[in-house]
Amino acid sequence: MIRLVDVHKSYTKERETIKGVSFEVHEGQIFGLLGPNGAGKTTLMQMIATLMKPTSGKIEIDGLSGDKDLLEIHRKIGFLTNEIKLDPMSTPNNLFNFFAELYDIPEKELKDRRDESFARFGITPFADKKINELSTGMKQKISIAISLIHNPPVVIFDEPTNGLDILTSKQVTDYLKELKEKGHAIILSTHIFSVAEELCDEIAILVDGKIAAQGTVGEIIKQADVESFEKAFFKIYVENHIE
């Protein structure tokens, strides 16, 4: 569903931020990009979500490329990032209606989807409150509901549990597991290895714009020749990080 081939990205002439990244994510799979701040996770996710072009290399969503099939790709992907903020003066209901119109979702379907996702995330009592009166967790849950309003087969979530308390965080991770069961192809980034360890079928450890290790949790632990995923992460990081 998602395919990256030798993707490079330079923001400036002096420095390459993404240094040749390749991987594939399939239906019913959760793929995790795990790496410290500055590794290049958001840069990669933004390129997969077609918000930015790679300097070189290829990115395909279901065989489509952002160069020519932009609208078609947008219907297939749901993108969540902390970089985009909800309008503080709007309300969950208004935002939901706005994005539903953008995606041409029929009225009846919209109502069912809104009721379902607002109930699931406990948004219903806040549906007509101003965004700036809501908690961080509630805003994040609204962002998630909106990013998936068009039921996209591909889910791209940049640090979805960042800054959330443990209960909200669990609601989000449970939801991702459910989407996986339904056959969505999911890519998520995180700097929290317990999140990666719990959720992901496959993990790529990203260090300084390169994949330093890739595989299941078990494979990465074996490859690093240590006893735990936490130890494997630090060992791989130290071995690959350039000052």
Ligand X SMILES: Nc1ncnc2c1ncn2[C@@H]1O[C@H](COP(=O)(O)OP(=O)(O)O)[C@@H](O)[C@H]1O
Is residue 68 close enough to count as binding ligand X by CB under 6 A?
no
Is residue 163 close enough to count as binding ligand X by CB under 6 A?
no
Q: C-beta of 15: minimal distance to ligand X in Å? A: 8
Residues 25 and 10: their CA atoms lie apart, in Å, by 24
- State both tokens at 201: 């079928």
Among ligand X, Mg ion, none, what binds residue 38 when CB lies within 5 to 8 Å by partner kind? ligand X
Contact 205, 213 (CB under 8 A): yes
Question: In the complex with ligand X, which residue's Cβ is closer, 45 or 186?
Answer: 45
Q: C-beta of 110: minimal distance to Mg ion in Å? A: 31
x/- site string to Mg ion, residues 38 to 77, per CB under 5 A? ---xx-----------------------------------
57 phi-psi bin (left φ>0, alpha ψ -120 to 50, beta other): left
Q: C-beta of 18: minimal distance to ligand X in Å? A: 8
Contact 33, 187 (CB under 8 A): yes
Is residue 11 close enough to count as binding ligand X by CB under 6 A?
yes
- Rounded to a whole number of angstroms, the CA Rg of the chain reads 18
Q: Which stretch binds ligand X (CB under 6 A): 34-42, 62-70, 95-103, 193-201?
A: 34-42
Is residue 39 close enough to count as binding ligand X by CB under 6 A?
yes
Q: Which stretch binds ligand X (CB under 6 A): 30-38, 102-110, 211-219, 234-242?
A: 30-38
Amino acid at 191: H
Q: Which stretch binds Mg ion (CB under 5 A): 33-41, 50-58, 143-151, 208-216?
A: 33-41
Residues 77 and 56: their CA atoms lie apart, in Å, by 22
Give the count of beta carbons closer than 10 Å to the beta carbon of residue 116.
Answer: 11
Residue whose C-alpha is closest to residue 62's, from 74, 76, 78? 76
Is residue 81 close enough to count as binding Mg ion by CB under 5 A?
no
Q: C-beta of 158: minimal distance to Mg ion in Å? A: 6
Q: C-beta of 163: minimal distance to ligand X in Å? A: 14
Is residue 41 close enough to count as binding ligand X by CB under 6 A?
yes
Contact 219, 46 (CB under 8 A): no
Beta strands in 12-51 (DSSP E): 18-25, 30-34
Chain center to CA of 242: 26
Tell me which residues touch ligand X (CB under 6 A): 11, 17, 35, 37-43
Tell me which residues touch Mg ion (CB under 5 A): 41-42
